[in-house]
Amino acid sequence: MSGPIAVDLEAEKEYYYCTCGKSKGKAFCDGSHKGCGFTPMKFSVNESKEYHICTCQKSSNEPFCDGSHTK
């Protein structure tokens, strides 16, 4: 069970959330997914602030933590 990471994100900037679980730069894609069939999820935010990004990949609101890692 792994909890979320807190990161400062900038409004309107494109981010790529790792969906394969292989990235060494969790929770963002570092290209390690090549050849495994997964592709990163592109996302952006409307407001520049700190966000909690899911690392357990159980959130129903990916890439954001919804508390599912505690269940």
Nearer to ligand FES, 11 or 31 (CB): 31
Among 4, 15, 27, 33, binds ligand FES (CB under 6 A): 33
**51 touching ligand FES, by CB under 6 A:** no
- Closest listed residue to residue 45, CA positions, set 18, 5, 10, 70: 10
**26 touching ligand FES, by CB under 6 A:** no
- Closest listed residue to residue 41, CA positions, set 22, 63, 58: 63
Among 15, 40, 54, 55, binds ligand FES (CB under 6 A): 40
Read off φ and ψ for residue 30, nearest 5 degrees. Answer: -120, 15
